[in-house]
């Protein structure tokens, strides 16, 4: 009986003190990428949707820990470029991205005393990708196993990993409908440590090496200029520039982040003194 009472007291205290600091959230918006196959910001023809869920823990009125899962599809294609050399290269890709992130989020103003505030965030993320393209018969072809730049073939570089780290940075403006329901308009950039998100980074491999080690499909997907009307049917020589590894790839999101505070019957201001029905003191 004594243990049962202690358990009830513990659950009550946890609910009263800690649960009031938790917010659950949903994110919806758009996603895009920058790299060897596009350098435009949110290019119209290759910008796709993004969705996510978050769990948020309120350390103070102005600082929050935020864990999230986000799913998106990004891509790029030379045919949408204004550069004639890129158009002649005729490469393209898409990839689904699944990302887990842990961020610190800082509000410039306290949302329990103000109706809105700018905010910034940053942290660490782990993401998974797997670039693919479509051939002439609209079949989806995953590019990494084809070693389009010779990765993994003797005499070339290593095969890139499909799960990698990223550094998320961003910010936005958040509006408080109530103490418990907040809506943020935000944008976030992911700084990557890979240049292979789009499967394009360095130089062309020798078509003979690709054919001998990965087959004809590898040769076909490594150089696609011959698919264009009047395109050069001869693949570039080994070592010719295919992409550039000078700058790493990037992907980014923009959208709305709606959060709801759990156990909204009470509040917390770092000392346990927030009133349960406290309204913002500053409306503007």
pLDDT at 11 over 60: no
Task: Please name the helix (run of DSSP H) or strand (run of DSSP E) that holds residue 84, with its range, or none.
Answer: helix 84-89
pLDDT the model gives residue 275: 43
pLDDT the model gives residue 135: 87
Structural contact between residues 117 and 173, judged by C-beta atoms closer than 8 angstroms:
yes
Query: Which of 25-29, 169-173, 244-248 is predicted least confidently?
Result: 244-248
Per the model's pLDDT, the better-predicted residue between 3 and 223 turns out to be: 223
pLDDT at 19 over 80: no
The domain locations on the chain are 19-142+152-199+245-261
Which residues lie across from 69 on neighbouring strands?
53, 100
Token couple for 202 = 């360095």
* Phi, psi for residue 34 in degrees, rounded to 5: -125, 135
Structural contact between residues 247 and 29, judged by C-beta atoms closer than 8 angstroms:
no
Token couple for 154 = 């003797």
Q: Model's pTM, two decimal places?
A: 0.85
pLDDT at 67 over 70: yes
Which residues lie across from 181 on neighbouring strands?
260
pLDDT the model gives residue 113: 93
CA distance 270 to 107: 15
pLDDT at 50 over 60: yes
Average pLDDT over residues 223-240: 93
pLDDT at 278 over 70: no
Helix (H, G, I), strand (E, B) or coil at 100: strand
pLDDT at 284 over 50: no
Phi/psi region, residue 165 (left: phi>0; alpha: psi -120 to 50; beta: rest), is beta
pLDDT the model gives residue 263: 74
pLDDT in tens, 77-129: 999 999 999 999 999 999 999 999 999 999 999 999 999 999 999 999 999 99
pLDDT at 31 over 80: yes
Does the domain formed by 19-142+152-199+245-261 have CATH 3.10.20.880? Answer: no
pLDDT in tens, 161-194: 999 999 999 999 999 999 999 999 999 999 999 9
pLDDT the model gives residue 25: 98
Query: Which of 118-127, 201-210, 262-271 is predicted least confidently?
Result: 262-271
Sequence-distant (6+) residues with CB within 8 A of 186 are 119, 121, 170, 171, 172, 173, 174, 254, 255, 256, 257
Sequence-distant (6+) residues with CB within 8 A of 22 are 55, 56, 57, 58, 261, 262, 263
Give me the chain's average pLDDT, please: 88
With cut-offs at 50, 70 and 90, classify the pLDDT of residue 34: very high
Task: Please name the helix (run of DSSP H) or strand (run of DSSP E) that holds residue 163, with its range, or none.
Answer: strand 163-176
Most confident of 10-19, 163-172, 239-248, 272-281: 163-172
Average pLDDT over residues 49-57: 97
pLDDT at 265 over 60: no
Query: Which of 69-73, 122-126, 132-136 is predicted least confidently?
Result: 132-136
Structural contact between residues 65 and 104, judged by C-beta atoms closer than 8 angstroms:
yes
């Amino acid at each position: 009986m004594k243990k049962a009472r202690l358990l009830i007291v513990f659950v009550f205290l946890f609910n009263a003190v800690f649960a009031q600091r938790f917010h659950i959230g949903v994110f919806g918006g758009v996603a895009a990428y920058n790299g060897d196959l596009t350098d435009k910001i949110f290019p119209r023809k290759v910008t796709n949707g993004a969705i996510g869920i978050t769990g948020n823990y309120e350390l103070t009125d102005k600082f929050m820990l935020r864990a999230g899962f986000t799913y998106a599809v990004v891509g790029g294609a030379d045919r949408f470029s204004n550069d004639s050399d890129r158009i002649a290269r005729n490469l393209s890709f898409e990839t689904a991205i699944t990302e887990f992130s842990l961020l610190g989020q800082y509000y410039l103003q306290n949302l329990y005393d103000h109706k809105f505030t700018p905010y910034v965030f940053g942290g660490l993320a782990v993401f998974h990708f797997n670039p693919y393209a479509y051939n002439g018969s609209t079949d989806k072809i995953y590019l990494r196993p084809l070693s389009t730049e010779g990765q993994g073939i003797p005499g070339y570089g290593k095969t890139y990993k499909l799960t990698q780290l990223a550094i998320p940075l961003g910010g936005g403006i958040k509006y408080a409908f109530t103490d418990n329901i907040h809506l943020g308009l935000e944008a976030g950039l992911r700084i990557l440590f890979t240049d292979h998100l789009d499967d394009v980074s360095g130089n062309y491999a020798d078509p003979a090496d690709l054919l001998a080690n990965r087959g004809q499909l590898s040769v076909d997907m490594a150089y696609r200029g011959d698919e264009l009307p009047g395109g050069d049917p001869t693949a570039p020589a080994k070592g010719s520039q295919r992409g550039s590894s000078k700058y790493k790839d990037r992907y980014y999101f923009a959208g709305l982040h709606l959060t709801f505070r759990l156990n909204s019957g009470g509040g917390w201001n770092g000392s346990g003194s927030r009133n349960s029905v406290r309204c913002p003191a500053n409306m503007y």
